[in-house]
Homo-oligomer: A and B are copies of this chain.
C-alpha cells in the first residue's frame, strides 16, 4: 500500500511539474486530463513483429503485436523507458479452431486467427500523454471506429502494472 501511495505521489508530482512547465502555453488544469489516441497510425499493418499472444476467458483473442521502427530499435537495443515516437500495435483476432488444419492433422489441435476484432495502440509521447505515464492509448474496432474515454481510461491503470515501462509484451527473437 505504501508503495502504491509513493507511486501515486510520484505520478502526481510529475504531472504537476509537466503542467507547471507547460503552463505558459496552455491551461495548467488541462494538462493532467488523459489524452487518448483517436486517429489510426498510418501503415501499422506493415510494421515488424514484436511477438504474439493469446487471451482466454471473455477475450478469446489472438494477438499479433507489431512495432514501428522506433519501437523495434528500442526493443532490440533494450532501451527502457521507450523513447518518444515509439508506437506498439496489438492486432486482435478471434481465436478459432481450424477445421482444415485439423482434418490434415487427423485430430483437433490447430487454432488460427479468425475475424479481426480490434487494433490497440500505445504511443509514447512524454508531453502529450504525461497524465498516463507518457503513453497514449488507442482502441479501434474492426471498422476503424475509435473507442471512447470510458474504455480508454481503463488502459493506463492496468498497463502501469507491467514491469517494463507499462508494456506487457516482450520481444520474441
Contact = CB atoms under 8 A, between A and B. Distances in A.
A101 B49 contact: no
Interface residues of A, number: 43
B162 A55 contact: no
A34 interface: no
Interface stretch (A12-20, A56-64, A124-132, A145-153): A56-64
**How many copies of this chain does one complex carry?**
2
Nearest to A48: B46
Contacts of A62: 52, 54
A33 interface: no
Interface in A17-74: 45-49, 51-57, 59, 62-64, 66
Contacts of A47: 48
A55 B110 contact: yes
Interface in A94-128: 95, 98, 100-101, 103-105, 107-113, 116
Given A101-B168, A112-B170, A168-B100, A107 B57 contact: yes
Interface of A: 45-49, 51-57, 59, 62-64, 66, 91, 93, 95, 98, 100-101, 103-105, 107-113, 116, 158, 161-163, 168-170, 172-173
Across the A-B interface, the 6 shortest Cβ-Cβ residue pairs: A54-B111, A57-B109, A56-B109, A113-B172, A104-B161, A52-B52
